[in-house]
Amino acid sequence: MLITKHFTFLHIPKTGGSFITDVCHRELPSEWLVPNELHPHSRYDQVPAEFQDRPMLCFVRNPWDWYVSWYHYMIKHPPREPHTRTRTPLWYCAFDCGRSDFREAATRALTGRDFDNRGHLRTVPLMRELDVDHYTALHLLMTGDGLGNGRIEVARFERLREDFLDFLDRHEVPVERTFVEAVREGPRLRTSKRGPYQDYYDEELRALVAGRAHRLLTDYGYDF
């Protein structure tokens, strides 16, 4: 997990966190970085208490766009074999070991039908409890109480560079000019070649995201 002397970054998958982590490790002074054994996608409740007093940031992404990015990433980076429901449940169930198209995989993740994932980011119980989709459950699972108690600030993926620099400026993090330039000009990471996310949706699938991810859409002002 990215923890520094001045701030902590909560890396929610597919929201630009690889870029933030990479530029910080390359450009920040090494003595700023706090060594730790936490998973890169650690939840708020897994951050040790001594680090929770630092300003903390995460990003949110338009859910329609998030699902397209998630699908392409998973197809491009499948887990190693053997693929079984127990060993690779997300790949086995939602993606049918790579045979599912976008509509099939997204529908499973949105509805929870024929969907499973395990590990420290298992979203299925929260999906069922709150009647929400995988991405909403993932966002809520990772941020936990940090949103309600004001410990986590949420910035927008669509303004990733600007919002990250604004966060650092508000908290008077003394970054060098070279770091600011690296954030503004550095190349994007883990991108996929695809068209606009709108091209992946028909009216039915678009409406399904609107219904299941309504909490994120309402809280962060997203529309199609």
> Considering the entire predicted model, what is its pTM?
0.94
Q: Is residue 138 located within the same domain as residue 151? A: no
Domain check: are 104 and 177 in the same one?
no
132 shares its domain with 151: no
Whether residue 89 is found in the same domain as residue 132: yes
* pLDDT at residue 190 in the model: 66
Q: Are residues 120 and 154 in the same domain?
A: no
pLDDT band at 191 (very low <50, low <70, confident <90, very high): low
pLDDT the model gives residue 122:
94
More confident residue, 87 or 123: 123
- pLDDT tens readout for residues 159-171: 999 999 999 999 9
Residue 118 within a domain: yes
Are both 201 and 134 inside the same structural domain?
Answer: yes
Q: How many domains does the chain have?
A: 2
> Which pLDDT belongs to residue 85?
81
Q: What DSSP line would sit under 86-152, residue for residue?
A: TTSHHHHHTSGGGT--HHHHHHHHHH-TT----STT--HHHHHHHT--HHHHHHHHHHTHHHHTT-E
Would you place residue 186 in the very low, low, confident or very high pLDDT band (cuts 50, 70, 90)?
Answer: confident
Shared domain check, 155 and 50: yes
Judge whether 68 lies within some domain.
no
Provide the domain limits for residue 87: 77-142+196-215
Together in a domain, 131 and 154:
no
Residue 71 lies in a domain: no
CB of 21 closer than 8 Å to CB of 9: yes
- Over the chain, what is the mean pLDDT? 94
Q: Are residues 148 and 136 in the same domain?
A: no
Give me the mean pLDDT over the 100-125 stretch: 94
